[in-house]
Structure 1
Amino acid sequence: MTQATPRTERQRLQPRLAAACIAALLAALATTAASEAGTLDSIRETGQLKIGFRDDAAPFSFVRDGQPAGYSVALCRAVGGALQQRLELETLDIAFTAVTVEDRFDALKQGRIDLLCGATTVTLQRREEVDFSLLTFITGASVLYRQGGPSSFTALEGEKVGVRSGTTTDEGLRRALSEAGIGAEVVAIASHEAGRDALESGEIAAYFADRAILIMLAREAAEPADLVLSQRFFSYEPYALALRRDDGDFRMEVDRALVKTYRTPTITEIYEANFGKARMSELLRAMYTLQSLPD
């Protein structure tokens, strides 16, 4: 049997190598084209808007009667309705996917969801990962404690305090305690409801979260009269809907839908449906006015 020379072997392999290179190139081009097509083109083709929501951030995002509900979810539904009209679709399926504090941004970047609806604070660090819509809410971190419990920041010395892990409040609380030299033990808690339960049972002396969330937690406590909600804000928390970076066309339509909602009584209806009789702050009213950009 004649042994192939190195040149003959190269000649024999060249067609296979060329075919493999062409296949790899075509796959790369297909991936790039899909990426450049953008979210709006995907929605046109599939007739579906993929929304990620947290089920543990009432009153912004939670589950009621087996369905996604809350202030942010209602805004996302309004975005879906506006997209259906703008894209002239007969129907638009809104597909909800539950996400967590830990995986919500990965779900966006990996394309598992198109829009994140929850209690998501806009920060410069997060804007390195994802993009954000116009602001949807303004609140700030505050504290819930039991009657007779620590009513000042310095009174937390030697106490256990709870906070939802993975949130901006978690980061801010640890930093503030350290800077103030207060020796409180910070307990990372898996959900806001678990934090309230730990507070009521005496496992922790105080629970920190965004004040709008604390209002709902206190209202639904076993003994609401036993809990006190501080009037102080310890941080500034501007919320928005998160979406993938470098998709300006999609962000434009999301912002257009929010502006339309802010200009009408619909926003008051959404607020009252989720916050009840809790008075809308002047800061939030101003946000709606400032975000209602002219056409």
Structure 2
Amino acid sequence: MRRAVLLALTLSFALVAAPVAADTLNRILDSGEIRLGHRTDAVPLSYVDGAGQPQGYSVMICRALTARLADALGMEKLTPVWVPLDAQSRFDAVAEGRVDLHCGAATITLSRRERVDFSIPTFIDGTAVLLAGEGDTAFEDLDGKRLGVRGETTTEEILRNSLKAAGLEAEVITFSTFRDGVAAMAKGDLDAFFGDQLQLFGLAISGDLPDSLRISDDTLTVEKHGLVLQRGDSDFRLAVDRGLSALYQDGDMARIFRNTMPDIEAGAALRMLFILAPEVF
């Protein structure tokens, strides 16, 4: 019976010339569970609250998506199983099949797509700089300085490439967590800390950003985020993208943003994403 439901779902999701393996959808139907990876420290996108429960914009998207997938699969109940991941383990967890989706803060890049796949974009962010003191600081002013960044992230890669392109010499110090980097800035161990603008704003709004530090007005990049899933499972990706498209079309994505980040105003790029992202059904 479950295989019949899956066959009907696959046919309804797309007109294809030949059937394609849908291992994740089969496993979800058999187990009644979907394994969702989440971050613990990527405020306000994906983190854990005081009770240890997953929260944030990406987490709420995955909760809403789970309900959409359950309806599409004809399941009365689909149970999300939350798996905490960090920046270093998130892509391995997806590639090795330990989670079905990563609901965190993951920039879509071509190099990452060599290992994993991504959904349609769910968010747009950019790299900003955390600085001490007042006044404007140009990128060239960071020559010879101590610069912090979270390790094994696109932000680290962007920082190193930008320094090389500008012909600047600086000491790049990597941190395992975002908060560790901010703490180093507060102690004066760094001259600047590079990170996702939204996460920096999240710290400021929550009161966890020291008053002595300020966030740069401009971003160095524009980065699209997406949910992460295994490569080669086109049926599951199509199901995810259809569910996300429905969330965009119904206005749920914009509502999730407002509910999870009430003190942050969506930028022009994100507002356009809420309008343009839905795929044609």
Q: Which of residues 20, 44, 63 is equivalent to 2:48?
A: 63
The reply on whether 1:146 has 2:132 as its aligned counterpart is yes
Task: Tell me the equivalent position of 2:71.
Answer: 85
161-170 or 148-157: bigger deviation? 148-157
Percent identity for Structure 1 against Structure 2: 39
The reply on whether 1:251 has 2:233 as its aligned counterpart is no
Task: Tell me the equivalent position of 2:38.
Answer: 53
1:111-190 aligned at under 5 Å gives the runs 111-148=97-134, 151-190=137-176
Q: Which of residues 75, 81, 90 is equivalent to 1:95?
A: 81
Distance 1:222 1:103, change over 3 A: closer
Query: AA paired with 1:148?
Result: E
Aligned residues: 261
CA distance in 1, matches of 2:206, 2:159: 24
44-53 or 283-292: bigger deviation? 283-292
CA distance in 2, matches of 1:250, 1:223: 40
User: Do 1:142 and 1:234's aligned partners in 2 also have CA atoms closer than 8 Å?
Assistant: yes
Task: Tell me the equivalent position of 2:270.
Answer: 284
Task: Tell me the equivalent position of 1:6.
Answer: none
Q: Which of residues 76, 96, 108 is equivalent to 2:62?
A: 76
Distance 1:223 1:238, change over 3 A: closer
Structure 1: gaps (5+ residues) = 1-34
User: Do 2:35 and 2:82's aligned partners in 1 also have CA atoms closer than 8 Å?
Assistant: yes
Task: Tell me the equivalent position of 2:91.
Answer: 105
Residue 121 of structure 1 deviates from its aligned partner by 0.6
Query: AA paired with 2:56?
Result: G
Task: Tell me the equivalent position of 1:210.
Answer: 196
Distance 1:201 1:289, change over 3 A: same
Question: Match of 1:294, SS?
Answer: coil
| TM-score relative to the length of structure 2 | 0.88
User: Do 2:91 and 2:116's aligned partners in 1 also have CA atoms closer than 8 Å?
Assistant: yes
Q: Which has the higher helix share?
A: 1
Task: Report Cα offsets for 1:155-203 as digits up to 9, x if no partner.
Answer: 2122211100000010110111122122221110111111111111111
Task: Tell me the equivalent position of 1:196.
Answer: 182
CA distance in 1, matches of 2:170, 2:141: 9
Residue 225 of structure 1 deviates from its aligned partner by 3.2
Larger radius of gyration: 1
RMSD over aligned Cα atoms: 1.7
Residue 36 of structure 1 deviates from its aligned partner by 4.1
Segments ≥4 residues shifted beyond 4 Å: 221-224
Task: Report Cα offsets for 1:93-135 as digits up to 9, x if no partner.
Answer: 1001111222211111211100011110111111111111000
Residue 254 of structure 1 deviates from its aligned partner by 0.7
Query: AA paired with 2:38?
Result: F
Query: AA paired with 2:273?
Result: M
CA distance in 1, matches of 2:260, 2:72: 27
Residue 223 of structure 1 deviates from its aligned partner by 5.6
CA distance in 2, matches of 1:223, 1:254: 35
User: Do 2:22 and 2:234's aligned partners in 1 also have CA atoms closer than 8 Å?
Assistant: no
CA distance in 2, matches of 1:202, 1:150: 18
User: Do 1:192 and 1:217's aligned partners in 2 also have CA atoms closer than 8 Å?
Assistant: no
Residue 222 of structure 1 deviates from its aligned partner by 4.7
Residue 150 of structure 1 deviates from its aligned partner by 7.0
198-207 or 163-172: bigger deviation? 198-207
Task: Tell me the equivalent position of 1:44.
Answer: 29
User: Do 2:117 and 2:230's aligned partners in 1 also have CA atoms closer than 8 Å?
Assistant: yes
User: Do 1:120 and 1:241's aligned partners in 2 also have CA atoms closer than 8 Å?
Assistant: yes
User: Do 2:186 and 2:210's aligned partners in 1 also have CA atoms closer than 8 Å?
Assistant: no
